[in-house]
Amino acid sequence: MPLFTEKFLVIDYGSSYIKGALYESGPGGNHILRLESLPIVSVVDIIGEEDRTEFAEYEYNLVRYVQSFFPEETNFLLNLPLENIYVRDLSVPVVNQKQIEEVIPFEVENLIPVTLDEAEVIGRAWEIGAEDSRVISFAAARENLLRAVSPLRRPQSTIRLLSVDAAGLASFVRSLPPDEYLGRVIAQIDIGGRYTIINGIRDGALVFTRKVPIGGDAITEIVAHVLGIKDPIVAEQKKLSLEIDVSALSARPEKPEQFFRRERIERKDYDRIVKQSQAVIAEISEEVERSVLSLPCEPPAEYYLSGGGSCLKGARDLMESHLKVRLSEYPLALSDGEPVAMWATALGTAGHYDLKPTERLDFLASDFGSQLRGGKFSLGAFFTPLLVLILSFAPLLIGMIVEFKTFQKQGERASQRILELAQSVPAARGERVAARAAQIVAQECERRVLNSAGRAGVLEILKEITDHTPPPGELDFRLKSVTINGPSVDIQGEVALLTEATRLESEFRQSSMFSQVQSPTQSTGGARQAVTFNLQLVPPEGGSLSCD
């Protein structure tokens, strides 16, 4: 847990929207400061069809999003979409966690279409047996990793995490009470824009993930096709305004005529959109059933639904009727009223970042990943301040060394005096008397060394002056300065009347710390009288107990 507060931005680059959660971390944990989302737009109208590439669109939208909402942020958490990842389930003949991480790349090498020289591989064991271990691994081309972070790589910025959206989504279950995910198998269904993520989680660890290339955009395409809308952004807006309800006909309320007039749509066209949208939800449900049968562990005890597509009216009920299981909502609420299902991946990524480094799925953990972080630390910018700091402390260090040598010499003289005094004690009086005399000398010498050769310290002098100065209600005295020079103390100030200076002099004379108080010098040039007192400290007691 950090001792100081720090802000970091989680970016969930989806297929239709970019969603970001700004967090502040500190001794009290992580707190959400802001949630912002922005639709992804095509760059054809900006750079032309010939120059349009998937990366150009990604870079434009990501920079546009950050500059629009979070231009001052410098710490970022990112996910690589599953469409750029090769997911492989492995069984490795190793049971040591450290060795498992070392052999994963070699086990995956023959299962992915890129070489290890061109790709990075990460993975975690979710079950370690007596002879082998079950592992889920993710491989990504280094080119895709560089493209993912390049829009945010600035000298003052740092990429703190580069994970996988499936891993971020899986970590969201840890926001549930521990007894709801520990020792249990949970299925996650996240319906995004272009694809749906299906996760299998056992005991809080990701054991299975699959990307199904169908999501909410399929319903947008249905709206565009039925209504003849060519612009996908307009079609998306129309889909939202229609408030499509895919519930069964018996459970679906009848739309009034004014609804169709307002939306300028025929009832038959609306019914066609609903029927085809129901087919999309049914297809997603079938893929969930196939994925559950493919789980490398026991069937799920709980199903959680999230993603923008899950917010479609009736989608949950329709999927439950197809799957014959209950789909749960995450029992969490956001302070601004945003549906938590929309932010499951972004919020889960923040939780994934809070895991121990050995438990994270992070492409930055490798040697190549260290090149992706950005924000390299350099002492060059601090050279001048450090040089000034060192030069400032040099006189102090020299003074401390000289003072230490002085104290060391005084200690040597004190030891010699102790020896001389002990030898001068008659033998008839015994060794105990000699030892006691030596102890007295040692104590006195120690007191004098630590107390500036027996004189009072600065704080003691100031306290004595304060104690012998009448309060403001009795005497109008304004202190200007106090100068201590060896046994001499000079006090400068102002009084309203000369009689007050006389009284103050009398008060100082009553102090046992000052052996002499000289009459103040006075100046009558203004409304107030400037006065100066010279006080002489009582000298240390002399005698045979001098450390010299």
CATH code, domain with 516: 3.30.1360.100
Give the pLDDT of residue 397. 76
SS3 222: helix
pLDDT tens string 337-349: 788 999 999 999 9
Whether 393 is covered by a domain: the verdict is yes
Whether 208 is covered by a domain: the verdict is no
- Domain holding 472, by residue range, is 458-537
- Cα(203)–Cα(180) distance, rounded to whole angstroms? 9
Q: Please state the pTM of the whole predicted model.
A: 0.67
Whether 49 is covered by a domain: the verdict is no
Whether 38 is covered by a domain: the verdict is no
Q: Are residues 432 and 467 in the same domain?
A: no
Whether 372 is covered by a domain: the verdict is no
Whether 524 is covered by a domain: the verdict is yes
pLDDT tens string 215-241: 999 999 999 999 999 988 899 899 999
Q: Are residues 482 and 518 in the same domain?
A: yes
Last residue of a domain, one of 450, 476, 493: 450
Give the pLDDT of residue 437. 54
% of the chain surpassing 70 pLDDT: 82
Whether 394 is covered by a domain: the verdict is yes
Residue with tokens 């500036």: 452
pLDDT tens string 179-204: 999 999 999 999 999 999 999 999 99
Tell me the average pLDDT across 480-493.
84
- Cα(347)–Cα(168) distance, rounded to whole angstroms? 8
Last residue of a domain, one of 418, 450, 482: 450
Give the pLDDT of residue 377. 44
- Cα(133)–Cα(95) distance, rounded to whole angstroms? 6
Q: Are residues 435 and 500 in the same domain?
A: no
DSSP letter at 526 equals S
- Reference 350, options 16, 5, 84, 11; nearest CA is 11
Give the pLDDT of residue 80. 86
Last residue of a domain, one of 450, 469, 485: 450
Please give the torsion angle defined by the CA atoms of residues 343, 346, 347 and 350, in that order, rounded to the nearest 10 degrees: -170
**Using an 8 Å Cβ cutoff, are 498 and 540 in contact?**
no
Whether 490 is covered by a domain: the verdict is yes
**Using an 8 Å Cβ cutoff, are 176 and 330 in contact?**
yes
- SS3 for 245-297 is ECCCHHHCCCCCHHHHHHHCCCHHHHHHHHHHHHHHHHHHHHHHHHHHHCCCC
Q: Are residues 428 and 477 in the same domain?
A: no
Q: Are residues 467 and 519 in the same domain?
A: yes
- Looking at the structure of the chain, the number of domains it has is 2
Q: Sorting pLDDT into bands at 50, 70 and 90, what band is 442?
A: low
Lowest mean pLDDT among 253-267, 336-350, 477-491: 477-491
Q: Are residues 468 and 484 in the same domain?
A: yes
